[in-house]
Structure 1
Protein backbone atom coordinates (compact mmCIF):
# COMPACT_ATOMS: atom_id res chain seq x y z
CA UNK A 1 0.00 0.00 0.00
CA UNK A 2 1.23 3.48 -0.83
CA UNK A 3 -0.08 6.91 0.07
CA UNK A 4 -1.93 7.03 -3.24
CA UNK A 5 -4.15 4.18 -2.03
CA UNK A 6 -4.90 5.30 1.51
CA UNK A 7 -4.46 9.06 1.88
CA UNK A 8 -6.28 12.15 0.77
CA UNK A 9 -5.37 15.83 0.83
CA UNK A 10 -3.33 16.78 3.91
CA UNK A 11 -3.69 20.39 5.16
CA UNK A 12 -0.47 22.31 5.71
CA UNK A 13 -0.98 22.54 9.48
CA UNK A 14 -0.77 18.74 9.63
CA UNK A 15 2.54 18.44 7.78
CA UNK A 16 5.47 16.93 9.72
CA UNK A 17 8.76 18.79 10.29
CA UNK A 18 11.52 18.63 7.68
CA UNK A 19 13.41 16.16 9.88
CA UNK A 20 10.73 13.52 9.16
CA UNK A 21 12.72 12.67 6.02
CA UNK A 22 16.04 12.06 7.77
CA UNK A 23 15.60 8.46 8.90
CA UNK A 24 14.05 7.23 5.68
CA UNK A 25 16.60 8.72 3.31
CA UNK A 26 19.57 7.32 5.20
CA UNK A 27 23.12 8.01 4.06
CA UNK A 28 24.27 8.96 0.60
CA UNK A 29 25.46 5.65 -0.83
CA UNK A 30 27.49 6.81 -3.85
CA UNK A 31 31.22 6.90 -3.14
CA UNK A 32 33.25 10.07 -2.72
CA UNK A 33 35.85 10.69 -5.40
CA UNK A 34 39.43 11.68 -4.48
CA UNK A 35 40.02 13.10 -7.99
CA UNK A 36 39.80 16.77 -6.95
CA UNK A 37 42.51 16.57 -4.28
CA UNK A 38 45.24 19.08 -5.07
CA UNK A 39 43.10 21.16 -7.43
CA UNK A 40 41.85 24.74 -7.06
CA UNK A 41 38.51 26.23 -8.10
CA UNK A 42 37.47 29.88 -8.12
CA UNK A 43 33.94 30.32 -6.74
CA UNK A 44 32.05 33.62 -7.17
CA UNK A 45 30.61 35.34 -4.07
CA UNK A 46 27.36 37.26 -3.70
CA UNK A 47 29.35 40.48 -4.01
CA UNK A 48 30.59 39.54 -7.45
CA UNK A 49 34.20 38.76 -6.50
CA UNK A 50 35.65 35.26 -6.58
CA UNK A 51 37.25 33.20 -3.82
CA UNK A 52 39.88 30.55 -4.51
CA UNK A 53 38.89 27.19 -3.04
CA UNK A 54 41.65 24.62 -2.67
CA UNK A 55 40.76 20.95 -2.36
CA UNK A 56 43.67 20.16 -0.09
CA UNK A 57 42.87 16.45 0.14
CA UNK A 58 39.98 14.11 -0.80
CA UNK A 59 37.81 15.42 2.05
CA UNK A 60 38.88 19.00 2.91
CA UNK A 61 38.34 22.25 1.01
CA UNK A 62 40.00 25.46 2.21
CA UNK A 63 39.65 29.13 1.34
CA UNK A 64 40.98 32.38 2.74
CA UNK A 65 39.42 32.46 6.20
CA UNK A 66 38.03 28.98 6.50
CA UNK A 67 37.78 25.33 5.58
CA UNK A 68 35.16 22.60 5.51
CA UNK A 69 34.68 18.91 4.88
CA UNK A 70 33.44 18.24 1.37
CA UNK A 71 32.23 15.31 -0.70
CA UNK A 72 32.73 15.14 -4.45
CA UNK A 73 30.84 12.54 -6.49
CA UNK A 74 31.86 11.87 -10.09
CA UNK A 75 28.44 11.66 -11.70
CA UNK A 76 29.90 10.98 -15.15
CA UNK A 77 33.53 10.97 -16.28
CA UNK A 78 35.03 14.30 -15.18
CA UNK A 79 31.63 15.76 -14.17
CA UNK A 80 31.50 16.31 -10.41
CA UNK A 81 28.86 17.39 -7.91
CA UNK A 82 30.59 18.83 -4.84
CA UNK A 83 28.93 19.62 -1.52
CA UNK A 84 30.03 21.30 1.67
CA UNK A 85 28.52 23.30 4.52
CA UNK A 86 30.09 26.43 5.95
CA UNK A 87 28.93 28.23 9.08
CA UNK A 88 26.61 26.90 11.77
CA UNK A 89 22.99 27.14 12.83
CA UNK A 90 20.94 29.88 11.19
CA UNK A 91 24.16 31.24 9.67
CA UNK A 92 24.91 27.95 7.93
CA UNK A 93 25.19 27.77 4.15
CA UNK A 94 25.13 24.69 1.93
CA UNK A 95 27.38 25.12 -1.11
CA UNK A 96 26.81 22.82 -4.09
CA UNK A 97 29.08 22.99 -7.15
CA UNK A 98 28.63 21.21 -10.45
CA UNK A 99 32.00 21.21 -12.19
CA UNK A 100 32.32 19.78 -15.68
CA UNK A 101 36.06 19.45 -16.22
CA UNK A 102 35.43 18.37 -19.83
CA UNK A 103 34.13 21.84 -20.72
CA UNK A 104 35.30 23.93 -17.76
CA UNK A 105 31.72 24.97 -16.96
CA UNK A 106 31.01 25.55 -13.25
CA UNK A 107 27.59 26.22 -11.74
CA UNK A 108 27.36 27.02 -8.03
CA UNK A 109 24.28 27.08 -5.79
CA UNK A 110 24.60 28.51 -2.27
CA UNK A 111 21.60 27.92 -0.01
CA UNK A 112 21.17 30.07 3.10
CA UNK A 113 18.56 31.14 5.62
CA UNK A 114 16.71 34.45 5.69
CA UNK A 115 14.12 35.84 8.08
CA UNK A 116 10.77 36.78 6.51
CA UNK A 117 8.02 38.20 8.73
CA UNK A 118 9.74 36.81 11.79
CA UNK A 119 10.00 33.30 10.35
CA UNK A 120 13.12 31.53 9.14
CA UNK A 121 12.94 30.79 5.43
CA UNK A 122 15.57 29.82 2.86
CA UNK A 123 16.90 30.98 -0.47
CA UNK A 124 19.54 29.86 -2.97
CA UNK A 125 21.86 32.10 -4.97
CA UNK A 126 23.14 30.68 -8.26
CA UNK A 127 26.12 31.53 -10.40
CA UNK A 128 25.43 29.47 -13.49
CA UNK A 129 27.75 28.76 -16.40
CA UNK A 130 25.42 26.11 -17.80
CA UNK A 131 22.43 27.03 -19.99
CA UNK A 132 18.89 27.03 -18.62
CA UNK A 133 16.98 24.01 -19.88
CA UNK A 134 13.48 22.75 -20.59
CA UNK A 135 14.65 19.17 -21.12
CA UNK A 136 12.66 17.70 -18.22
CA UNK A 137 9.39 19.44 -19.10
CA UNK A 138 6.52 17.00 -19.61
CA UNK A 139 8.24 14.12 -17.86
CA UNK A 140 6.81 12.25 -14.89
CA UNK A 141 9.65 10.59 -12.98
CA UNK A 142 9.54 8.16 -10.04
CA UNK A 143 12.42 8.43 -7.54
CA UNK A 144 13.41 5.70 -5.06
CA UNK A 145 15.59 7.36 -2.43
CA UNK A 146 15.67 4.27 -0.22
CA UNK A 147 13.60 1.19 0.55
CA UNK A 148 11.42 3.49 2.65
CA UNK A 149 11.17 6.70 0.60
CA UNK A 150 9.64 7.13 -2.86
CA UNK A 151 8.51 10.31 -4.60
CA UNK A 152 7.30 11.33 -8.01
CA UNK A 153 7.96 14.57 -9.87
CA UNK A 154 5.96 16.05 -12.72
CA UNK A 155 7.78 18.83 -14.57
CA UNK A 156 5.20 21.34 -15.77
CA UNK A 157 7.43 24.04 -17.29
CA UNK A 158 11.06 25.20 -16.84
CA UNK A 159 10.17 26.96 -13.58
CA UNK A 160 7.40 24.86 -12.00
CA UNK A 161 7.06 21.23 -10.94
CA UNK A 162 4.76 19.08 -8.82
CA UNK A 163 6.06 16.56 -6.29
CA UNK A 164 4.19 13.81 -4.48
CA UNK A 165 5.45 11.56 -1.69
CA UNK A 166 4.29 8.07 -2.64
CA UNK A 167 5.85 6.36 0.38
CA UNK A 168 7.87 7.48 3.42
CA UNK A 169 7.96 10.14 6.12
CA UNK A 170 5.99 12.62 3.99
CA UNK A 171 3.55 10.03 2.58
CA UNK A 172 0.51 11.75 1.17
CA UNK A 173 2.11 15.19 0.96
CA UNK A 174 2.19 16.90 -2.41
CA UNK A 175 2.70 20.40 -3.71
CA UNK A 176 3.58 22.47 -6.75
CA UNK A 177 6.73 24.53 -6.27
CA UNK A 178 9.26 26.73 -8.01
CA UNK A 179 12.19 25.06 -9.75
CA UNK A 180 14.98 25.69 -12.25
CA UNK A 181 16.89 23.35 -14.55
CA UNK A 182 20.12 23.58 -16.53
CA UNK A 183 21.71 21.42 -19.25
CA UNK A 184 25.02 19.77 -18.31
CA UNK A 185 25.39 16.97 -20.88
CA UNK A 186 23.09 14.74 -22.89
CA UNK A 187 20.26 13.59 -20.58
CA UNK A 188 22.05 15.17 -17.59
CA UNK A 189 20.50 18.16 -15.81
CA UNK A 190 21.11 20.36 -12.80
CA UNK A 191 17.78 20.67 -10.98
CA UNK A 192 16.82 23.07 -8.20
CA UNK A 193 13.65 23.43 -6.22
CA UNK A 194 12.48 25.49 -3.27
CA UNK A 195 9.37 24.75 -1.23
CA UNK A 196 6.77 27.25 -0.10
CA UNK A 197 5.43 25.22 2.85
CA UNK A 198 8.58 23.69 4.31
CA UNK A 199 11.87 25.57 4.52
CA UNK A 200 13.75 23.43 1.99
CA UNK A 201 16.23 24.14 -0.82
CA UNK A 202 17.31 21.26 -3.06
CA UNK A 203 20.13 21.16 -5.61
CA UNK A 204 20.83 17.97 -7.54
CA UNK A 205 21.89 16.30 -10.75
CA UNK A 206 19.24 14.29 -12.61
CA UNK A 207 20.79 11.72 -14.92
CA UNK A 208 18.26 10.10 -17.23
CA UNK A 209 20.92 7.97 -18.93
CA UNK A 210 22.24 6.47 -15.69
CA UNK A 211 18.72 6.52 -14.16
CA UNK A 212 19.71 8.24 -10.94
CA UNK A 213 19.73 11.55 -9.13
CA UNK A 214 22.50 12.88 -6.86
CA UNK A 215 22.16 15.88 -4.59
CA UNK A 216 21.07 17.37 -1.30
CA UNK A 217 18.28 19.11 0.54
CA UNK A 218 19.07 21.94 2.95
CA UNK A 219 16.30 22.95 5.29
CA UNK A 220 15.30 24.34 8.65
CA UNK A 221 13.67 22.22 11.33
CA UNK A 222 11.31 24.57 13.18
CA UNK A 223 10.72 22.45 16.31
CA UNK A 224 14.45 21.77 16.81
CA UNK A 225 15.61 25.22 15.66
CA UNK A 226 18.48 23.84 13.58
CA UNK A 227 19.47 23.14 9.98
CA UNK A 228 18.63 19.84 8.33
CA UNK A 229 21.28 18.68 5.85
CA UNK A 230 20.15 15.75 3.75
CA UNK A 231 22.54 14.44 1.06
CA UNK A 232 20.86 11.80 -1.11
CA UNK A 233 20.98 9.74 -4.25
CA UNK A 234 18.14 7.89 -5.87
CA UNK A 235 17.25 5.38 -8.53
CA UNK A 236 14.80 6.85 -11.01
CA UNK A 237 12.33 5.65 -13.62
CA UNK A 238 10.74 7.85 -16.27
CA UNK A 239 7.06 6.88 -16.02
CA UNK A 240 5.87 8.83 -19.04
CA UNK A 241 6.41 11.94 -21.11
CA UNK A 242 3.50 14.23 -21.90
CA UNK A 243 3.22 15.60 -25.40
CA UNK A 244 0.51 18.14 -26.05
CA UNK A 245 -1.73 17.90 -29.13
CA UNK A 246 -0.55 20.10 -31.97
CA UNK A 247 -3.85 21.80 -32.73
CA UNK A 248 -3.41 23.69 -35.94
CA UNK A 249 -7.00 23.98 -37.09
CA UNK A 250 -9.17 26.95 -36.21
CA UNK A 251 -12.28 26.62 -34.09
Structure 2
Protein backbone atom coordinates (compact mmCIF):
# COMPACT_ATOMS: atom_id res chain seq x y z
CA UNK A 1 0.00 0.00 0.00
CA UNK A 2 1.42 3.41 -0.94
CA UNK A 3 1.77 6.36 1.42
CA UNK A 4 -1.12 8.23 -0.21
CA UNK A 5 -3.47 5.27 0.31
CA UNK A 6 -2.83 5.54 4.05
CA UNK A 7 -3.44 9.28 4.12
CA UNK A 8 -6.77 10.96 4.75
CA UNK A 9 -8.22 14.45 4.91
CA UNK A 10 -6.46 16.69 7.46
CA UNK A 11 -8.65 19.46 8.98
CA UNK A 12 -7.16 22.95 8.87
CA UNK A 13 -6.96 23.19 12.67
CA UNK A 14 -4.60 20.19 12.67
CA UNK A 15 -2.13 21.66 10.18
CA UNK A 16 1.40 22.18 11.55
CA UNK A 17 3.13 25.61 11.51
CA UNK A 18 5.06 26.76 8.42
CA UNK A 19 8.37 26.11 10.21
CA UNK A 20 7.68 22.34 10.07
CA UNK A 21 9.05 22.32 6.52
CA UNK A 22 12.45 23.80 7.49
CA UNK A 23 14.12 20.63 8.74
CA UNK A 24 12.73 18.37 6.02
CA UNK A 25 13.67 20.61 3.11
CA UNK A 26 17.19 21.16 4.38
CA UNK A 27 19.63 23.59 2.81
CA UNK A 28 19.53 24.73 -0.81
CA UNK A 29 22.09 22.44 -2.43
CA UNK A 30 22.70 24.26 -5.73
CA UNK A 31 25.84 26.40 -5.60
CA UNK A 32 25.86 30.19 -5.58
CA UNK A 33 27.28 31.82 -8.70
CA UNK A 34 29.85 34.65 -8.42
CA UNK A 35 29.10 35.78 -11.99
CA UNK A 36 27.13 38.90 -11.01
CA UNK A 37 29.82 40.38 -8.74
CA UNK A 38 30.78 43.98 -9.74
CA UNK A 39 27.71 44.30 -12.01
CA UNK A 40 24.43 46.17 -11.57
CA UNK A 41 20.84 46.06 -12.78
CA UNK A 42 19.00 49.33 -13.37
CA UNK A 43 15.23 49.10 -13.81
CA UNK A 44 12.10 51.22 -13.76
CA UNK A 45 9.15 49.96 -11.70
CA UNK A 46 5.63 49.98 -13.13
CA UNK A 47 4.89 53.24 -11.30
CA UNK A 48 7.99 54.90 -12.77
CA UNK A 49 10.17 54.53 -9.67
CA UNK A 50 13.85 53.88 -10.52
CA UNK A 51 15.21 50.65 -9.02
CA UNK A 52 18.87 49.60 -8.93
CA UNK A 53 20.65 46.51 -7.66
CA UNK A 54 24.45 46.75 -7.36
CA UNK A 55 26.17 43.42 -6.76
CA UNK A 56 29.15 44.51 -4.66
CA UNK A 57 30.61 41.02 -4.24
CA UNK A 58 29.48 37.46 -4.95
CA UNK A 59 27.25 37.59 -1.85
CA UNK A 60 26.59 41.25 -0.90
CA UNK A 61 24.44 43.76 -2.80
CA UNK A 62 23.23 47.32 -2.42
CA UNK A 63 19.67 48.17 -3.45
CA UNK A 64 17.98 51.48 -4.15
CA UNK A 65 14.26 51.97 -4.81
CA UNK A 66 13.33 55.61 -5.14
CA UNK A 67 14.68 57.24 -1.96
CA UNK A 68 14.92 53.94 -0.03
CA UNK A 69 18.32 52.23 0.08
CA UNK A 70 19.99 49.34 1.85
CA UNK A 71 22.40 46.44 1.66
CA UNK A 72 21.74 42.71 1.94
CA UNK A 73 23.28 39.29 1.63
CA UNK A 74 22.13 37.57 -1.58
CA UNK A 75 22.46 34.28 -3.39
CA UNK A 76 22.45 34.03 -7.20
CA UNK A 77 21.99 30.65 -8.88
CA UNK A 78 22.65 30.33 -12.60
CA UNK A 79 19.73 28.12 -13.59
CA UNK A 80 20.85 28.01 -17.22
CA UNK A 81 23.70 29.86 -18.95
CA UNK A 82 22.96 33.58 -18.54
CA UNK A 83 19.70 33.01 -16.62
CA UNK A 84 19.87 33.74 -12.89
CA UNK A 85 17.50 33.50 -9.94
CA UNK A 86 18.65 35.97 -7.28
CA UNK A 87 17.25 36.01 -3.77
CA UNK A 88 17.62 38.21 -0.67
CA UNK A 89 15.69 39.45 2.36
CA UNK A 90 15.43 43.11 3.33
CA UNK A 91 13.63 44.94 6.12
CA UNK A 92 13.85 45.98 9.71
CA UNK A 93 15.52 43.70 12.23
CA UNK A 94 17.46 41.83 9.53
CA UNK A 95 14.29 40.18 8.31
CA UNK A 96 13.08 39.01 11.74
CA UNK A 97 9.79 40.91 11.86
CA UNK A 98 6.65 41.62 9.86
CA UNK A 99 8.35 44.44 7.93
CA UNK A 100 10.70 41.95 6.26
CA UNK A 101 10.47 41.46 2.50
CA UNK A 102 11.80 38.59 0.40
CA UNK A 103 12.99 39.84 -3.00
CA UNK A 104 13.46 37.36 -5.85
CA UNK A 105 14.85 38.51 -9.21
CA UNK A 106 14.87 36.40 -12.37
CA UNK A 107 17.39 37.86 -14.81
CA UNK A 108 17.88 36.66 -18.39
CA UNK A 109 21.07 38.26 -19.67
CA UNK A 110 20.42 37.03 -23.23
CA UNK A 111 17.22 39.11 -23.62
CA UNK A 112 17.57 41.61 -20.76
CA UNK A 113 14.18 40.54 -19.39
CA UNK A 114 13.86 40.85 -15.61
CA UNK A 115 11.02 39.79 -13.36
CA UNK A 116 11.16 41.00 -9.76
CA UNK A 117 8.95 39.53 -7.04
CA UNK A 118 8.73 41.31 -3.68
CA UNK A 119 6.90 39.29 -1.01
CA UNK A 120 5.85 40.82 2.29
CA UNK A 121 3.15 40.74 4.94
CA UNK A 122 -0.09 42.59 5.63
CA UNK A 123 -2.51 42.29 8.55
CA UNK A 124 -6.05 41.36 7.51
CA UNK A 125 -8.82 40.68 10.03
CA UNK A 126 -6.21 40.38 12.76
CA UNK A 127 -4.17 37.77 10.88
CA UNK A 128 -0.80 38.17 9.17
CA UNK A 129 -1.18 37.36 5.48
CA UNK A 130 1.28 37.31 2.60
CA UNK A 131 1.34 39.48 -0.50
CA UNK A 132 3.65 39.53 -3.54
CA UNK A 133 4.13 42.34 -6.04
CA UNK A 134 5.61 41.61 -9.48
CA UNK A 135 7.47 43.97 -11.79
CA UNK A 136 8.34 42.94 -15.35
CA UNK A 137 11.00 45.07 -17.02
CA UNK A 138 14.13 44.92 -19.15
CA UNK A 139 17.64 45.73 -17.96
CA UNK A 140 18.83 46.37 -21.53
CA UNK A 141 16.14 48.89 -22.40
CA UNK A 142 14.49 46.50 -24.86
CA UNK A 143 10.80 45.71 -25.12
CA UNK A 144 11.17 42.02 -24.19
CA UNK A 145 9.59 40.99 -20.88
CA UNK A 146 8.49 37.64 -19.49
CA UNK A 147 4.96 36.77 -20.62
CA UNK A 148 2.21 34.79 -18.87
CA UNK A 149 2.11 31.18 -19.99
CA UNK A 150 -0.39 28.31 -19.98
CA UNK A 151 2.25 25.66 -20.75
CA UNK A 152 1.97 23.97 -17.32
CA UNK A 153 -1.81 23.63 -17.49
CA UNK A 154 -2.87 19.98 -17.38
CA UNK A 155 0.45 18.68 -16.08
CA UNK A 156 0.90 16.68 -12.89
CA UNK A 157 4.47 17.01 -11.57
CA UNK A 158 6.18 15.19 -8.69
CA UNK A 159 8.82 17.18 -6.74
CA UNK A 160 11.51 15.63 -4.51
CA UNK A 161 12.81 18.41 -2.25
CA UNK A 162 14.92 16.07 -0.11
CA UNK A 163 15.12 12.43 0.93
CA UNK A 164 12.16 12.99 3.24
CA UNK A 165 10.03 15.65 1.52
CA UNK A 166 7.99 14.99 -1.65
CA UNK A 167 5.06 16.93 -3.11
CA UNK A 168 2.94 16.81 -6.23
CA UNK A 169 1.41 19.71 -8.15
CA UNK A 170 -1.58 19.53 -10.47
CA UNK A 171 -1.92 22.61 -12.68
CA UNK A 172 -5.63 23.13 -13.28
CA UNK A 173 -5.66 26.39 -15.25
CA UNK A 174 -3.53 29.53 -15.63
CA UNK A 175 -4.46 30.82 -12.18
CA UNK A 176 -5.20 27.74 -10.06
CA UNK A 177 -3.23 24.66 -9.00
CA UNK A 178 -3.48 21.89 -6.41
CA UNK A 179 -0.55 20.86 -4.20
CA UNK A 180 -0.35 17.70 -2.10
CA UNK A 181 2.36 16.55 0.32
CA UNK A 182 3.07 12.91 -0.54
CA UNK A 183 5.78 12.47 2.11
CA UNK A 184 7.28 14.66 4.84
CA UNK A 185 6.27 17.01 7.64
CA UNK A 186 3.02 17.96 5.86
CA UNK A 187 2.17 14.44 4.68
CA UNK A 188 -1.47 14.24 3.67
CA UNK A 189 -1.98 18.00 3.52
CA UNK A 190 -3.41 19.33 0.25
CA UNK A 191 -5.06 22.47 -1.02
CA UNK A 192 -5.99 24.37 -4.15
CA UNK A 193 -4.47 27.85 -4.39
CA UNK A 194 -3.90 30.82 -6.66
CA UNK A 195 -0.88 30.71 -8.97
CA UNK A 196 0.71 32.42 -11.99
CA UNK A 197 3.23 31.24 -14.59
CA UNK A 198 5.55 33.15 -16.93
CA UNK A 199 7.73 31.72 -19.72
CA UNK A 200 11.47 32.49 -19.51
CA UNK A 201 12.93 30.13 -22.12
CA UNK A 202 12.01 26.82 -23.74
CA UNK A 203 10.67 24.54 -20.97
CA UNK A 204 11.72 27.08 -18.30
CA UNK A 205 9.08 28.95 -16.28
CA UNK A 206 8.67 31.35 -13.39
CA UNK A 207 5.99 29.95 -11.09
CA UNK A 208 4.28 31.73 -8.21
CA UNK A 209 1.73 30.61 -5.69
CA UNK A 210 0.11 32.05 -2.57
CA UNK A 211 -1.56 29.88 0.05
CA UNK A 212 -4.91 30.55 1.69
CA UNK A 213 -4.55 28.39 4.82
CA UNK A 214 -0.93 29.01 5.78
CA UNK A 215 0.79 32.33 5.11
CA UNK A 216 3.16 31.27 2.31
CA UNK A 217 4.34 33.15 -0.80
CA UNK A 218 6.40 30.99 -3.18
CA UNK A 219 8.44 32.08 -6.21
CA UNK A 220 10.49 29.60 -8.21
CA UNK A 221 11.86 28.52 -11.56
CA UNK A 222 10.49 25.26 -12.96
CA UNK A 223 12.87 23.74 -15.49
CA UNK A 224 11.26 20.84 -17.34
CA UNK A 225 14.37 20.29 -19.49
CA UNK A 226 16.76 19.97 -16.54
CA UNK A 227 14.01 18.32 -14.43
CA UNK A 228 14.42 20.58 -11.41
CA UNK A 229 12.94 23.55 -9.60
CA UNK A 230 14.80 26.37 -7.84
CA UNK A 231 13.21 28.94 -5.57
CA UNK A 232 11.96 29.97 -2.16
CA UNK A 233 8.96 30.10 0.10
CA UNK A 234 8.44 33.13 2.34
CA UNK A 235 5.99 32.54 5.15
CA UNK A 236 4.83 33.66 8.56
CA UNK A 237 5.26 31.29 11.51
CA UNK A 238 2.31 32.11 13.78
CA UNK A 239 3.59 30.36 16.95
CA UNK A 240 6.96 32.13 16.74
CA UNK A 241 5.45 35.37 15.31
CA UNK A 242 8.26 35.79 12.79
CA UNK A 243 9.00 35.29 9.09
CA UNK A 244 10.27 31.97 7.74
CA UNK A 245 12.48 31.98 4.64
CA UNK A 246 12.82 28.62 2.94
CA UNK A 247 15.16 28.50 -0.09
CA UNK A 248 14.92 25.16 -1.91
CA UNK A 249 15.67 23.18 -5.01
CA UNK A 250 14.14 19.90 -6.11
CA UNK A 251 14.29 17.13 -8.66
CA UNK A 252 11.07 16.81 -10.62
CA UNK A 253 9.25 14.22 -12.70
CA UNK A 254 6.33 14.98 -15.01
CA UNK A 255 3.88 12.21 -14.09
CA UNK A 256 1.31 12.88 -16.80
CA UNK A 257 -0.49 15.55 -18.77
CA UNK A 258 -4.27 15.80 -18.98
CA UNK A 259 -5.99 16.37 -22.30
CA UNK A 260 -9.73 16.74 -22.31
CA UNK A 261 -11.95 14.90 -24.81
CA UNK A 262 -13.17 17.03 -27.69
CA UNK A 263 -16.90 16.36 -27.55
CA UNK A 264 -18.52 17.00 -30.88
CA UNK A 265 -21.87 15.32 -30.34
CA UNK A 266 -24.82 17.26 -29.04
CA UNK A 267 -27.01 15.70 -26.40
* TM-score normalised to structure 2 length: 0.91
- Map of 1:234 onto structure 2: 250
Q: Structure 1, residues 56-113: CA drift from partner, whole Å, max 9, x if none?
A: 1100110242100000000001000000000131000000000000110000110000
Q: CA RMSD in A?
A: 1.2
Q: Distance in 2 between matches of 1:19 and 1:63?
A: 28
Quick one: which of 115, 127, 140 aligns to 1:119? 127
Cα deviation for residue 51 of structure 1 reads: 1.8
- Map of 2:88 onto structure 1: 84
Q: Structure 2 matches for 1:1-251, cutoff 5 A?
A: 3-45=3-45, 47-64=47-64, 65-87=69-91, 88=95, 89-128=97-136, 129-251=145-267
Q: Distance in 2 between matches of 1:47 and 1:3?
A: 49
Structure 2: runs of 5+ lacking an equivalent: 137-144
Q: Distance in 2 between matches of 1:226 and 1:48?
A: 32
Q: Distance in 2 between matches of 1:2 and 1:19?
A: 26
- Partner SS, residue 91 of structure 1: coil
Q: Structure 1, residues 177-218: CA drift from partner, whole Å, max 9, x if none?
A: 000000000000000000000000000000000000000000
Maintained 8 Å contact 1:43/1:108: no
Cα deviation for residue 53 of structure 1 reads: 1.1
- Partner SS, residue 23 of structure 2: helix
Maintained 8 Å contact 1:218/1:227: yes
Maintained 8 Å contact 1:154/1:162: yes
- Partner SS, residue 5 of structure 2: helix
Structure 1: runs of 5+ lacking an equivalent: none
Task: Call closer, same or farther: CA 1:3–1:14 in 2, change over 3 Å.
Answer: farther
Task: Call closer, same or farther: CA 1:112–1:43 in 2, change over 3 Å.
Answer: farther
- Partner SS, residue 98 of structure 2: helix
Q: Distance in 2 between matches of 1:58 and 1:206?
A: 24
- Map of 2:140 onto structure 1: none
Maintained 8 Å contact 1:2/1:167: no
How many residues are matched?
A: 251
- Partner SS, residue 18 of structure 1: coil
